[in-house]
Every structure is written in structure tokens, then in C-alpha cells.
Amino acid sequence: MLDGATTRFLVVVNHEGQYSVWPEDREPPAGWRAHGTRGTRAECLEVIRTHWDDMRPLSLRSTFEEGGA
């Protein structure tokens, strides 16, 4: 089990603009890339909170912005 207090994490983001935290010592899963932020779980979650202001996937946001559905 990962200990959020001592394990180092990195912020990852996918092509849909969705964010997550991932253990620093592991490769991000397929379809995800490092955002550049590393730190404790709490630090990474704070970065996500400030950057990810729309929970909808990018493709859905684009559809609505173009006047679709």
C-alpha cells in the first residue's frame, strides 16, 4: 500500500485534460504523461485543484463550445 505521507507522487494528465496523481517511481499508465509537478500526495492534489477547473473531458467541452449537443 502506498503511504501518502512519505511516498512521492507526480501529477499526470491525459489527452482529455484529466489529471491524476501517480507514484513517482512508476511510469505513467498508457495515455497519460507527466505534468511536471512532483511532491507529496497533498501537494500534487493541490496543484490539480488549481489547474483542473472543468471536470468534463476535453472532447466534451469542445463539443459544447462549438454549439453541439
The pTM (predicted TM-score) of the whole model is 0.75
Over the stretch 17-54, which tens digit does the pLDDT of each residue have? 999 999 999 999 999 999 999 999 999 999 999 988 87
- Cα gap 63→3, rounded to integer Å: 39
Domains of the chain by start residue, with CATH: 9-65 (3.90.820.10)
Q: Kind of pairing, strands 19-23 and 9-14?
A: antiparallel
- Cα gap 31→15, rounded to integer Å: 7
Instruction: Kindly tell me if the per-residue pLDDT of 3 is higher than 90.
Output: no
pLDDT at res. 54: 77
Q: Which of 29, 33, 36, 30 is nearest to 13 (CA)?
A: 33
